[in-house]
Each structure stands twice: as C-alpha cells, then as structure tokens.
Structure 1
Amino acid sequence: MKNSIQKISSIKRNKMKLTDINIRDPYILRSGDWYYMYGTRAETCWGVAEGFDCFKSKDLENWEGPFEIFHRPEGFWADRCFWAPECYEINGKYYLVATFGSEKHKGIQILQSDTPDGTFQIMTETPLTPDDWNCIDGMLYQEKEKIYLIFSHSFEDVPAGDMCMVELEENLSCIKGKIITLFSAKDADWAVPIPFAKAEFGMDGDVYFTDGPAVYRQQNGKLLILWSSWGEKGYTVGQAVSDSGKIEGPWRHLEQIVFGPDGGHGMFFHTKEGALKYLLHYPNQPGDEHPLLLELAETELGLKATLS
C-alpha cells in the first residue's frame, strides 16, 4: 500500500500514462476539449476510504492528476467501499454515481457538481438503493424522458448475482416504481462461481456476482449490457442482449465474451474523432491495476474489444 501511495505522490499532477495510474473501475467522461477519468482508489479499495479523484487529459495518452473531487465529510454514514464513480453531464450539471459502504451494508448515492472536476456534494443523506440491500456499481441510463439506475444486487444478498434496474425521479433524488431484475450471473454459460466465497466471505455453495454494467445500443437497434463477473480464468467481461431493444428485456446472455481474463469493470465512450473505445482495469491484481484502453467493435456475435 505504501509503495502505491508513494508512486502516486511522486508523479502527482505530472504527465502520466495510463500504466502509471493505479485505480480500479475506470470511467471516462468527455466534456469540451478534455477527457475526465474517474475510478476507485486502488490503495483504499478494500479498507477505510476517504474520497474520489479525477484525472484529466486532452489526448487520452498524457494525464494530469490526481485531483480530489470528493472527500468524506464529517458524520458521513459510509467509511469504506468507495467504489466505481461514474460521471454524467445532464442539463449543464455533473452527477457522480458511486458506491459507498459501512459495516451494515453497501448502497448507491449520487453527488452533484457544477464542473466535471468537482468539488462534488452529496445530494441525499441516504443511498437511493434499499437500506436492507447490498447494492454496488450503479450507472445511469436515459431512454426518452425516463432515467434509470442500473446496478448490481450484490452476492451477499443474492448468491445468483443479479443485475437490477429501477426508474429514478427526474431530479435524481429518489427511486420511483418497482426494482426489477434484468438477469443473473449464474445463467451465463461463461460465468463460474467465485472460488474464494468460503475463504473470504464465509459463504457456502455456489456464489456468483455481477458488476460494472454499461449499456450499449447496437446499430440494429438491439440493446446490450456489458458486465463483469468471474470466468474460468478470472475476472471477465461478458454481455447480455435485449432482442426487443427495450431496457426491460427480456435479456439473454451471449456466448462471446468482451474481454478476459484478469480484467474487467469496463465502460465505453466515443473519442473526439468519433472512435468507439472500451476502458477497463487490468490486471485484476491488488497494487497492479491500471486503466486499459481498447478498441470496441460490433460483430455478428455481439461486441468485441481488442488492443488499440
């Protein structure tokens, strides 16, 4: 941990390459001439956490940072599991969707700022997700006039590993309607039970997980969700398709994985030049994780990511 912190401090705000940046769950927002990258602080991922950072670049190769955009305020309910911040620009405001946790549970909250590099303020005192659920890795999906929160209902509650969705109020202040399950990890042919469920979590039986959802609309109108789980060779990104083209589904898992092994929790974005890119963290080894940028392309079997 000390080596990771020292490494980041020594290159702080200088020009860095992606391989110099030790974060998990990377996410890029393009705003104006800048790319803003957010992520989970790798050195505090599994322990007490303090906040979130962003990094800035104009060319996706040379990065500046980290710039702290959120710091845990006095009396905040969560002190760990500060995970997977995703930033969205909506009507001139910037919203950071993030996971937070305590000894009791994990939930998803939304923070707001006037600029993409913060400082972000907490919008609600408590998570949007239910108090008696463990929920992680939220993302926003807009369809016409509606906005949805898509998230993982964590394996502590659901060993099958569920991906869920619920509509949000227009001002993102709370959920409305019923939470529905889109699909489960156990139903994907490529997903396998996590091998450390008993040793690390004291859980018996088969335990699956979902995380890192990213929604993609194909040119043929079908809707995909790229998501991560455990595969035969470790952390893997797979995909599910809604043949109806509707977020409600029904959803079915595709055989073709997007990326693997040993890398995951990805997202996609378009560059200034219009190229479609996929960003994930790789490898999935504590202390070694860094953002990896890939090309993303449609195929007859779904999406496929390849090295740029």
Structure 2
Amino acid sequence: MRLPDMPLHDPFVVADEATRTYHLYTSNDPSVSGVEGVGTMVYRSDDLRDWTRPVVVFLAAEQDNLWASEGGWAPEVHAWQGRYYLFTTLHDENSPLPVPPTGHWGTPFRLANHRRGTITAVSDSLLGPFTSVDPARPTPPERLMTLDGTLYVDPSGQPWMVYAHEWLQTVDGTMEAIRLAPDLTGTIGDPVFLFKASDAPWIGEGIPAGVPHQLPPYVTDGPQLYPAPDSSLLMLWSTYEKNVLGTDGTLTGGYVQTYAVSTSGALHGPWVQRRPLVREDSGHGMLFRTFEGQLMMVLHRPFENARGKLYEVELTGDELRVLRQRVDLDGGG
C-alpha cells in the first residue's frame, strides 16, 4: 500500500531503530484492517513509500469495564521505561458535562459537551496488544472535555501529558499539561495552562469585509512537543484560521498546521506563536527523523477522507521551516 491509498487521520510515526521499521499509527478503519470496532491500527514500512496492510493493536471493546467506547482518535505510541504506551482519545456521548455560558459572545453556539479525554494503555510490543492502565477514567481530569493527549518528558525526567482542552467547553480552546506518575498510570497535581488558541495573532486574518472580526470559537488540536537545538521547546499544533461561526452553528475556515515556541525551553513557557507551516485543510502533524537523519513532518489532508502527507523540514535554532513536500511518497494533493 502507498499513502494515497491509506485512510488515516491524526497520523503518528514511530521510527523503530531496532527493526529499521516505520510504524504509522491511526484510528482503526475496518475497511482496511478487516477488524470491526473502535481502536488503533498500525501500518509498517521500511522506506516510507510502501506500507503493509494495517494490523489492529488496540480495541476498546476488548478492555474490561472501559469508561467509553466511542472515538479512538489521535493515537500515539511512546517508549517509556522499557515498555510502549498508547495514548488515544475516547468519548462517551451519554455522559454529559456542563455547557459553558456563551451569551456574552453574542454568538449562537450549539454546544454538546460530554465526557471526552485521552486514555493510556500499555504493551511490551509496538504491535500490541495494548491494555488500558485505568479503565475507569481518562488520564486528564474527567470533569474536563479534552483530546489529543501527547507525552512530554521534561529535562528533569518528569513525564507530562499535554492535551487540548476543547473549545466546546472553553469557547477559546487551550493547551494544558498535567504531570504523570513515573509509571504513567496516574496524574500528579492540577493541570497547568500553557496558552489559548486566540493567542495566535494571525488566526483572524482575511475575514471578508462585513463579517465581524474573528468570531469565536477558537480551536486547539494535535499538540506535539519537540526540543530545538538552541534549548528552546517547540509545540506543533493545529487550529482553524479565519474562523467564522454561522447563524446555523456551522464552523467555517481553513484547518492549518502551525507551531509555537517556548523560548525558555520550559513547558510552562512563555509560548510565542509562529506563522502556519502548511495550510490547504492540513493539520494534526508530528515530527520524526528518518533512519538517514532527515527531519520529517507527517500530517493529514484533507480533514475529511484524510490521507497522510510527508514534508521534509528544517529546524534552525527555534525556527521550523518546510523544505519540500515528498510528493514521490505521498502522491501530492
């Protein structure tokens, strides 16, 4: 299989040096995996061009007493202390959460908050099976509607989960972090605020004349942390630029891949927002290095019926720059 033929959303690549194999994780799609159910599947390749048919590594239905059975979004796999940890977002539409007041925005929101958050599951293999470490609840506080949790280990060795706090609950979506227990089975302390989506100064550029300037909501999606060579810290994230919420409650605007920089190198920032890296309804990207040492970014495009797109990128100081799209691998488009 090749990327143009592979349904995938929120792609995450693990380049496994031991086997010289790239593992590309995404939500389970029964049409290609042949396995029904909410979960995670993985494609494999040794050259980023030709991929195996995916195998399923996690199924929500196979977990004992799991708190949710919907979603299966944004799976990531991280090596930690000799084992592999899967983060993926689940939700339960039958468990409502409080809806925030929105009258001061003067905007006709249609909010439907329910229990949503990233779970943690563990395996001894990149190919699973992964087992939830706490079936009773998501890893971030369950009173919060969150998604897209990712692992970050700070210079002291403290693991954190960084996640997006949903605009559906906050109106102005935020990025937050919470400390994890050393074995990743629980959390320590309260969430830490990092930044909000509206901090990006370019987010409302180009709204047509006659439309009120940058109506809410503001969306945060897909964080990934990456240390820069100048000791600063980068966060890839996605949002919608030129957001306009219509009177019918529909959201219009372009999905984009962007990034922010903590010039202090600390997770708490302060975070400086940079210009988008890729537009054209693209996003939820992550960085990885090829076995030859080239820094790459993978993301999905378009948002609906998504396919993986690969870009060679360059990181100089704290500036991330796209060099070229690898159309020879991803088919362009």
TM range (shorter): 0.7 to 0.9
Q: 1:291 aligns with which of 303, 308, 315?
A: 308
Give the Cα–Cα distance (whole angstroms) in 2 for the partners of residues 23 and 76 of structure 1.
24
Q: 2:45 aligns with which of 30, 38, 57?
A: 57
In structure 2, the partner of 1:4 is: none
In the alignment, structure 2 segments of 5+ residues that lack a partner are 96-114, 208-214, 243-252, 327-333
Give the Cα–Cα distance (whole angstroms) in 2 for the partners of residues 84 and 95 of structure 1.
13
Q: Secondary structure at the match of 2:68?
A: coil
Give the Cα–Cα distance (whole angstroms) in 2 for the partners of residues 219 and 301 of structure 1.
7
In structure 2, the partner of 1:11 is: none
Q: What is the TM-score with the length of structure 2 in the denominator?
A: 0.79
Against the structure 1 CA distance between its residues 221 and 300, is the aligned structure 2 distance closer, same or farther, given a 3 Å change threshold?
Answer: closer
In the alignment, structure 1 segments of 5+ residues that lack a partner are 1-15, 196-204
Give the Cα–Cα distance (whole angstroms) in 1 for the partners of residues 28 and 254 of structure 2.
21
Tell me the matched-pair count: 277
Asked if structure 1 preserves the Cα contact closer than 8 Å seen for 2:78 and 2:86, the reply is yes
1:56-80 Cα shifts (integer Å, max 9, x gaps):
1111111002101111226432122
Q: 1:257 aligns with which of 276, 290, 297?
A: 276
In structure 2, the partner of 1:35 is: 22
In structure 1, the partner of 2:320 is: 303
Give the Cα–Cα distance (whole angstroms) in 1 for the partners of residues 85 and 302 of structure 2.
28
Aligned partner letter, 2:6: I
In structure 1, the partner of 2:190 is: 178
Q: Secondary structure at the match of 2:268?
A: coil
Against the structure 1 CA distance between its residues 155 and 177, is the aligned structure 2 distance closer, same or farther, given a 3 Å change threshold?
Answer: same
Against the structure 1 CA distance between its residues 175 and 162, is the aligned structure 2 distance closer, same or farther, given a 3 Å change threshold?
Answer: same
In structure 1, the partner of 2:70 is: 80
Asked if structure 2 preserves the Cα contact closer than 8 Å seen for 1:83 and 1:100, the reply is yes
Root mean square deviation, CA, Å: 2.1
Deviation at 1:19, TM superposition (A): 1.0
Deviation at 1:43, TM superposition (A): 7.9
1:1-308 alignment, distance < 5 Å = 16-31=1-16, 32=18, 33-41=20-28, 50-73=38-61, 75-103=65-93, 104=95, 105-125=115-135, 126-143=137-154, 144-192=156-204, 206-232=216-242, 234-254=254-274, 256-284=275-303, 286-287=304-305, 289-298=306-315, 302-305=319-322, 306-308=324-326
Asked if structure 1 preserves the Cα contact closer than 8 Å seen for 2:233 and 2:318, the reply is no
Q: Secondary structure at the match of 1:268?
A: strand
1:108-137 Cα shifts (integer Å, max 9, x gaps):
111111110111111112111112111100
Give the Cα–Cα distance (whole angstroms) in 1 for the partners of residues 183 and 318 of structure 2.
37
Asked if structure 1 preserves the Cα contact closer than 8 Å seen for 2:74 and 2:148, the reply is yes
Deviation at 1:54, TM superposition (A): 0.6
Against the structure 1 CA distance between its residues 220 and 230, is the aligned structure 2 distance closer, same or farther, given a 3 Å change threshold?
Answer: same
Give the Cα–Cα distance (whole angstroms) in 1 for the partners of residues 53 and 164 of structure 2.
29
Deviation at 1:216, TM superposition (A): 1.8
Give the Cα–Cα distance (whole angstroms) in 2 for the partners of residues 40 and 51 of structure 1.
6
Give the Cα–Cα distance (whole angstroms) in 1 for the partners of residues 42 and 318 of structure 2.
34
* Greater alpha carbon shift after TM alignment, 170-179 vs 226-235: 226-235
Q: Secondary structure at the match of 1:225?
A: strand
Q: What is the TM-score with the length of structure 1 in the denominator?
A: 0.85
Against the structure 1 CA distance between its residues 168 and 301, is the aligned structure 2 distance closer, same or farther, given a 3 Å change threshold?
Answer: closer
Give the Cα–Cα distance (whole angstroms) in 2 for the partners of residues 300 and 72 of structure 1.
41
Give the Cα–Cα distance (whole angstroms) in 2 for the partners of residues 17 and 151 of structure 1.
30
Deviation at 1:300, TM superposition (A): 7.1
Larger Rg: 1 or 2? 2
Deviation at 1:278, TM superposition (A): 0.2
Give the Cα–Cα distance (whole angstroms) in 1 for the partners of residues 276 and 60 of structure 2.
37
